[in-house]
């Protein structure tokens, strides 16, 4: 591999972006645009990891490791140089690939009556909402050919998880929702597992960049909960894609002063309420203002709206929410 090819790769994968995609968050800014944060390479208690975005270099005062984005990938994944280069190539290729896959799925949505009917049953009606969430449909064929025609090698399609080892489209008969660095697929047939993600992280909180500026934020478990709330005018809603938050999502919720309303499923087996209680305690410890929204028994926000609940009634639940 030539020096020029390596320099190109390093330019295309800025260290700070790569770190943030691996859940790293700066804790304070230094002079000349440099940042300090906890070191992802050793068990760090006070920030000792220095990043210089203008030079795309890092150095840790705790463990003494330092270098460029390739060195970071070597140390983080504990692989040799060439493997680290391969990982970075893969990472760089994934974003445009997912973007184009999502575009393909969106074109399919209105060609499939069953998919549109399912959306209606789950209360998703406004074209504006479908556009906002970029909802698509995976028919189970055609994606592979479409992406290869756009110049993506089969190898890359397999690595992303969009295509199976045998070469078939991985998502079939599913509604598809683009996430940060992933695609969520909701099955329309009862015989397949309902929820699927591509390999890798489910990403951060849904639409967080649009939500984080609100002083009050509603957190829900599922994207269909998100959808009906957004449609009812609650634009301060976000979603964890499940009732367990990953470290990245948890740090996002704690990244500023705000009140968080937990509107998890009031399911009869108690997993939603339990998860909400556990999360509420952790958020309180971090000084975040928390309220738990009490939905009627065995309801989630989606079924609440689908079965006739309206914005005024949900607002009343928010106002009645307690710690
Ligand atoms: Zn370190």
Q: Please, which residues bridge with residue 143 across strands?
A: none
> Which value, to the nearest 10 degrees, does the dihedral of the CA atoms of residues 83, 88, 93, 99 take?
130
Report residue 167's pLDDT band, with 50, 70 and 90 as the boundaries: very high
For residue 241, report the distance from its CA to the centre of ligand 1, in Å.
31
Report residue 177's pLDDT band, with 50, 70 and 90 as the boundaries: very high
Higher pLDDT, residue 237 or 156: 237
Q: Is residue 216 scored above 80 in pLDDT?
A: yes
For residue 14, report the distance from its CA to the centre of ligand 1, in Å.
19
pLDDT digits (tens, 9 = 90+) for 280-316: 999 999 889 999 999 999 999 999 999 999 999 999 9
Higher pLDDT, residue 247 or 135: 135
pLDDT digits (tens, 9 = 90+) for 37-85: 999 888 788 999 999 999 999 999 999 999 999 999 999 888 899 999 9
For residue 28, report the distance from its CA to the centre of ligand 1, in Å.
16
Angle at 45 between CA 42 and CA 51, to 5 degrees: 65
Higher pLDDT, residue 220 or 86: 220
Residue carrying structure tokens 């829900």? 220
Its pTM stands at: 0.79
Q: What pLDDT was estimated at residue 178?
A: 94
Report residue 202's pLDDT band, with 50, 70 and 90 as the boundaries: confident
Stretch 225-232: mean pLDDT:
98
For residue 84, report the distance from its CA to the centre of ligand 1, in Å.
18
Q: What pLDDT was estimated at residue 271?
A: 86
For residue 23, report the distance from its CA to the centre of ligand 1, in Å.
15
Q: What pLDDT was estimated at residue 117?
A: 96
**Backbone φ, ψ for residue 291 (5° rounding):** -135, 140
For residue 15, report the distance from its CA to the centre of ligand 1, in Å.
16
For residue 24, report the distance from its CA to the centre of ligand 1, in Å.
13
Q: What pLDDT was estimated at residue 259?
A: 96
pLDDT digits (tens, 9 = 90+) for 91-119: 887 888 999 999 999 999 999 999 999 99
- The whole-angstrom separation of Cα 7 and Cα 78 is 22
Q: What pLDDT was estimated at residue 268?
A: 74
For residue 43, report the distance from its CA to the centre of ligand 1, in Å.
7
Sign of CA dihedral 80, 34, 23, 95: negative
Q: What pLDDT was estimated at residue 201?
A: 76
Mean residue pLDDT across the chain: 92
3-state helix, strand, coil in the chain (%, to 5): 45, 15, 40
Q: What pLDDT was estimated at residue 20?
A: 82
Q: What pLDDT was estimated at residue 128?
A: 96
Q: What pLDDT was estimated at residue 212?
A: 87
């Amino acid at each position: 591999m030539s020096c020029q090819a390596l320099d190109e790769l390093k330019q295309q994968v800025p260290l700070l972006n790569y770190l943030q995609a691996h859940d790293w968050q700066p804790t304070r800014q230094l002079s000349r645009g440099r940042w300090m944060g906890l070191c992802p390479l050793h068990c760090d208690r006070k920030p000792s990891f220095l990043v210089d975005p203008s030079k795309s270099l890092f150095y840790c005062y705790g463990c003494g490791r330092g270098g460029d984005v390739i060195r970071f990938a070597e140390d983080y994944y504990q692989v040799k140089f060439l493997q680290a280069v391969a990982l970075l190539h893969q990472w760089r290729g994934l974003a445009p690939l997912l973007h184009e896959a999502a575009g393909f799925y969106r074109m399919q949505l209105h060609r499939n009556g069953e998919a549109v009917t399912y959306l209606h049953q789950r209360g998703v009606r406004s074209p504006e909402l479908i556009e906002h969430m970029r909802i698509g449909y995976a028919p189970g064929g055609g994606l592979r050919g479409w992406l290869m025609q756009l110049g993506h090698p089969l190898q890359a399609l397999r690595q992303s998880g969009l295509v199976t080892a045998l070469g078939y489209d991985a998502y079939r008969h599913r509604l598809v929702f683009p996430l940060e660095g992933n695609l969520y697929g909701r099955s329309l047939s009862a015989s397949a597992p309902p929820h699927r993600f591509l390999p890798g992280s489910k990403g951060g909180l849904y639409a967080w960049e649009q939500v984080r500026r609100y002083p009050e934020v509603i957190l829900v478990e599922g994207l269909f909960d998100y959808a009906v709330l957004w449609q009812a005018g609650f634009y301060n809603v976000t979603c964890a894609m499940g009732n367990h938050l990953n470290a990245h999502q948890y740090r996002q919720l704690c990244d500023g002063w705000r009140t968080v309303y937990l509107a998890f499923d009031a399911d009869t087996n108690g997993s939603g309420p339990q998860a909400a209680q556990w999360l509420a305690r952790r958020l309180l410890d971090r000084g975040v203002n928390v309220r738990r929204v009490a939905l009627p028994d065995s309801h989630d926000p989606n079924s609440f709206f689908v079965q006739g609940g309206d914005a005024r009634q949900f607002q009343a639940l928010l106002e009645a929410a307690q710690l």
